[in-house]
Structure 1
Amino acid sequence: MEATSFAQVWQDVFSTQTAPPQWLVIATGVVALVVVVARGPWRVARNVVTIAHEGGHALVALLSGRQLTGIRLHSDTSGVTVSRGRTSGIGMILTVAAGYVTPSLVGLVGILLLLQDRITALLWISILVLTAMLLLIRNVYGVVSVVGTGAVVFLISWFTPAEVQAVFAYLFTWFLLLAGVRPVFELQVQRSRQPSPHSDADQLDRLTGVPGTLWVVLFGVVNLATLGAGVWLLLF
């Protein structure tokens, strides 16, 4: 992006870009899958999933009328979003349920933008969302994670040619779409090995009376369905 004024920046952000060839769309999907499956890359990239997860909790908390206190992101890729309000009811249930499905849903929204060739818009919307989320972060590691992620997106959107932006945008979107599935399986494994009353599924168990395992299944079904829809939209 070589804009010299605010008006030109605005125009560049919301203009359309040339869609990449289909082989490149497939290639970025394969790379994203490797990142999700491979242990080393996943441990680093999972921080992005945590940002989306906690962002989902925060957004739904605000939409349901709860008072958002803050977000903490931890180096073990866990996180916590604290809000004030009723300790039961639909608002609390939706807030807790939002986390595990948000990364996949954000990936699907990204795909809808990419299908309209809004590559730069996708990158800048991501920057704006990360900036808003930064205001809610309450620990140093969380600030580093959000700023680092935002800096990468900004540098690519501002200093690289359209072709590089397209590769990154598709890779980023594929990653969120695919990465939403793995944490659900990790959640159930963790619940089996080290039961915790603080997991989202177990909180929902107490809030609704529906067993936590069924909530895990629901998370998995939603994310797999979202993944299927995303694959169909991108490749067929």
Structure 2
Amino acid sequence: MTTAAPALVPIALLVGAVLPFVPAAGRVARIAATIAHEVGHAVVVVPFGGRIRRIELHPDGSGEAWVQLGGVPGAVRWLVRVLNLFAGYSAPIWVGVLLVTGVLHASRWLPVAVLGVVGLVALAFVRNWFGLLVVIGFDALALWVALRPSDATVLVVAAVGAFFVVDGLRSVVQVARWLLTGARVQTDFHIAAAEMRVPAGLWFVLFLAVNALAVWLARGPLLETWATVVSALRALV
């Protein structure tokens, strides 16, 4: 991937970071984050013998993934259920981190690989017409980045990556707010609570702990990427 003018990359990052809080545009863009959320479920289940029966994406930005774990060996089934639970809200954040890292390190193939995996898995499992239209658009973006690398693709990937990270964190904070206020919602944590008789709040705390461990294990490259972002923003200011 070519390197865009240094002053433009931090601007793209800022645009992507602000997008989740723009009322109309944020709701539309959130469908892309939902794709990553639902694909996260598929990525952790299928390798263990589980099946994704279908994924649906809805115009309001929500999505659903129907998972079957019958083919998963009994010895690891509980672990796969937990991974499936945690993968949804984790996926957009980590996808965004990988995209931003690829841009800042001038890597062409890391963003292509990330967008390609998300796009192909979604295309394989999305079954409703609205979802298919959205996924086709997402795959078109991945093809554009892969086949026509340019300064424009760098800036778009930077904005998309920043959007995924910020919107993913926004979703996690929103879930925390729902749990604290006792709102009647149906998140992955509430579904797990109903299935496994463990409070949704406890599942959420475990989710935070697992992701904190992942951040600690990847602290080297994450701190390097963060330092590069801060340096670019300071240069912009």
CA distance in 1, matches of 2:40, 2:117: 15
CA distance in 1, matches of 2:14, 2:81: 37
| 1:70-149 aligned within 5 A | 70-86=54-70, 89-119=78-108, 122-123=111-112, 125-127=114-116, 129-149=118-138
Q: Give unmatched runs, 5+ long, in structure 2.
A: 232-237
Q: Give unmatched runs, 5+ long, in structure 1.
A: 1-16
Q: Normalized against structure 2, the TM-score is what?
A: 0.77
Alpha carbons of structure 1 residues 136 and 234: separation in structure 2 relative to 1, 3 Å: same
Which one-letter code corresponds to 2:136 in the other structure?
A: V
Residue number in structure 2 paired with 1:9: none
Are 1:232 and 2:232 an aligned pair?
A: no
- Cα offset for 1:155? 4.2
CA distance in 1, matches of 2:195, 2:104: 39
Are 1:205 and 2:193 an aligned pair?
A: yes
Q: Normalized against structure 1, the TM-score is what?
A: 0.77
Q: Decide whether the 8 Å contact of 1:119 with 1:165 is kept in 2.
A: no
Question: Tell me, what secondary structure is at the counterpart of 2:56?
Answer: strand
CA RMSD of aligned residues (A): 3.1
- Cα offset for 1:120? 5.8
Instruction: Report how many residues are paired.
Output: 218
CA distance in 2, matches of 1:120, 1:50: 23
Question: Tell me, what secondary structure is at the counterpart of 1:19?
Answer: coil
Which one-letter code corresponds to 1:169 in the other structure?
A: V
Question: Tell me, what secondary structure is at the counterpart of 1:180?
Answer: helix
- Cα offset for 1:145? 1.2
CA distance in 2, matches of 1:205, 1:23: 47
- Cα offset for 1:218? 5.2
- Cα offset for 1:129? 3.4
Which one-letter code corresponds to 1:102 in the other structure?
A: A
* Sequence identity (%): 25
Q: Decide whether the 8 Å contact of 1:120 with 1:165 is kept in 2.
A: no
Question: Tell me, what secondary structure is at the counterpart of 1:83?
Answer: strand
CA distance in 2, matches of 1:138, 1:185: 29
Q: Decide whether the 8 Å contact of 1:205 with 1:212 is kept in 2.
A: yes
Q: Decide whether the 8 Å contact of 1:28 with 1:171 is kept in 2.
A: yes
Are 1:68 and 2:52 an aligned pair?
A: yes
Q: Decide whether the 8 Å contact of 1:124 with 1:154 is kept in 2.
A: no
- Cα offset for 1:219? 4.7
- Cα offset for 1:103? 0.6
Residue number in structure 1 paired with 2:153: 165
Which one-letter code corresponds to 1:80 in the other structure?
A: E
Q: 1:187 aligns with which of 172, 175, 189?
A: 175
- Cα offset for 1:156? 5.8
- Cα offset for 1:32? 1.1
Which one-letter code corresponds to 2:16 in the other structure?
A: A
- Cα offset for 1:124? 6.0
- Cα offset for 1:57? 0.6
- Cα offset for 1:36? 1.5
CA distance in 2, matches of 1:232, 1:69: 41
CA distance in 2, matches of 1:27, 1:100: 26
